[in-house]
Chain A
């Protein structure tokens, strides 16, 4: 198996989770229980919270554990719009993940006004045009730091500075789910955002855990009410195994990040140069924009992405079309079209996403397979098109 769908879900890191099994079977008490076993678990959970907070340059009380990034994103959007006054608006980029886009769409039906941020031809937020586009009443702006389908990195520092300058009242939410391997990651703690979301399973921990970071004083409304966990912001018994795994993996990755980034950059560079030589394949990147090394979006001129995905899957090479979260969705071309690709280009796109565990051999196998498929299927589709 050659697994190149790490932006959808990255494999749990064995090295980081070596002692996890032991924790799983010994830490089963409820962290809210007022006995020694409960206190122990609670202390362990708080230690993990501190690790996450340290990584993001925050204090532990600014970290809320959720069931995933989808819940974290929903919490931010829904808690602000529920308090919107008449005429207030929500701004987002046209290349957000479905958990932002579709939440915004559903809020729109209940009267929230939605404004899309303008993009440059390269796919970055068009900062000089923000003043024109952002209404003075814009209460919240949500931006995806690294786009999950193409890996394009937003100029977050300049964007945030400009929003603060022209709309000081507007709160800023950063969807940082895919940002760990990008150049942006180290900047994140220093930037002046209000909310930020992360997902554990995209970072080699377990599914069912997400992070919502909310800087002090930024009030949220809980989506779920109940036992008052997470300072009343997210009710429900905490997912202790997921939280512990995330803390362990994060600590491990923080140490190794630079080495791993170098490795993935090598893989990226190889794909970029090799794919460039493949007939009828094109990388979905624009000169002048910045991309995260772990995501490569590419297309064949004629072969649909779904067919490439099927054919690669038959050979044990796993990639996705667009984004895995929208694969089954007819609207899945939304992001690529917003980035200036036409319907055919978007439909013919696949996404290969790497992890530190991906090897150069695997990437070579991908390139070879793409070359073979281009030869065996390209002609057929070219003919069908010409007809």
Chain B
């Protein structure tokens, strides 16, 4: 069994809300452990979370490094609250790990969370440092760039000694910032946007727009798979995928509206529908994969006009990302291969030859008024299905 001390960086700065964030993080660790059927437990340890794991170090590290809100974690050796015992046993612990690490320099970092411990942290560091020097004469102290940093956490529960610090995923625990609805197409960008939103603490569910027979089962299966992959990157046990059939509106756009506005109108339809859904289901924001300037519908004028006409509150985590950066994240998430499968999604149907890049907001509004959008939203239930992912 190995213990880990989990620290949560910027989360701890949140003043009065700190307790809320901590609880959320603990809950997320527990949900993920349960979802993945692991033998791991977690509990609070003032200012940190203590994780006991009966799983292999690889499994535990991989788990902890994926949970949003964890800034870093350390595998720790736990000693009882007995300083003399710690001094007696520490050299043996170090001797064991010396062989594999072969350090030339070290430092001791002591942290005294338990203030009733009579020796201050500087003195502990000096004391343990001279102990190490006397037992391992080959080692030298280097406070700035040591080969090995020995961290000693002093707590009422005992001494926690660690030699490694592993970077966590960062961000905030899922759900600690609210709930969001990701507009998920089959493309490369939206899954990445969803991942970033989740990482920033939003419990994220999914909505996708289909227009059968213009889009087929293949396109929908692709979205299902993408939603599954994104959801699996978070810790929640399950997520929700809403599927909206917009075929009637898609047809209406082609039949009645200005062709250069077709794509923007479809986006108005999607955002308005998603906003209505968010309102009913209690989501705080919509998330899209828009990246500024990427295509005609993502120019600043297009985004502004669509937002003005559609309303709702939309976050665009990728707005400043280059395509290459987005693709690199998609690759690392494992969504790239799925997104590349060539099933048409409903955004890529009927793409006009000369789409508007500087649309007039008033014109977009009047074009959108030609669509039976309100009656569509009133009867949304008939066009909507949902499933767990």
Contact = CB atoms under 8 A, between A and B. Distances in A.
Given A328-B341, A330-B342, A384 B217 contact: no
A309 B342 contact: no
Contact of B217 (A313, A328, A373, A383): A313
B146 to A, nearest CB: 50
Interface in B336-389: 341-344, 350, 352-353
B315 to A, nearest CB: 32
A307 B213 contact: yes
A287 interface: no
Interface in A263-319: 306-311, 313-314
A334 B341 CA distance: 18
Q: Specify the main secondary structure of chain A where it touches its partner.
A: helix
B215 A380 contact: no
Nearest to B216: A310
Contacts of A387: 259, 352-353
Contacts of B1: none
Nearest to A386: B259
Nearest to B218: A328
Interface in B254-302: 254-255, 259
B213 A380 contact: no
B342 A329 contact: yes
Interface string A139-161: 00000000000000000000000
Given A307-B214, A309-B216, A310-B217, A384 B342 contact: no
A79 B128 CA distance: 69
B213 A311 contact: yes
A311 B344 CA distance: 14
Chain A, interface size category, equals 10 to 19
Contacts of B47: none
Contacts of A384: 254, 259, 350
A383 B255 contact: yes
Contacts of A383: 254-255
Nearest to B213: A311
Contact of A380 (B217, B254, B259, B353): B254
Interface string A308-347: 1111011000000000000011100000000000000000
A156 B344 CA distance: 38
B215 A310 contact: yes
A387 B343 CA distance: 24
Interface in B238-258: 251, 254-255
Interface string A370-387: 000100010010011001
B251 A314 contact: no
Contact of B255 (A309, A310, A330, A380): A380
A311 B213 CA distance: 5
B259 A310 contact: no
Contacts of A307: 213-214
Contact of B216 (A306, A373, A377, A380): A306
Given A380-B251, A383-B254, A384-B350, A314 B213 contact: yes
Contacts of A314: 212-213
B215 to A, nearest CB: 7
Contacts of A377: 213
B296 to A, nearest CB: 15
Interface of A: 306-311, 313-314, 328-330, 373, 377, 380, 383-384, 387
Interface of B: 212-218, 251, 254-255, 259, 341-344, 350, 352-353
26 contacts: A306-B344, A307-B213, A307-B214, A309-B216, A310-B212, A310-B213, A310-B214, A310-B217, A313-B213, A313-B216, A313-B217, A314-B212, A314-B213, A328-B218, A328-B341, A328-B343, A330-B342, A373-B213, A377-B213, A380-B254, A380-B255, A383-B254, A383-B255, A384-B254, A384-B259, A387-B353
Given A329-B342, A380-B254, A383-B254, 18 more contacts: A307-B213, A308-B213, A310-B213, A310-B214, A310-B215, A310-B216, A311-B212, A313-B216, A313-B217, A328-B341, A328-B342, A328-B343, A377-B213, A380-B251, A383-B255, A384-B350, A387-B259, A387-B353
When A and B form their complex, which 10 residue pairs have the shortest distance between CB atoms, in order from nearest?
A311-B213, A387-B259, A310-B216, A310-B213, A384-B350, A330-B342, A384-B254, A380-B254, A307-B213, A307-B214
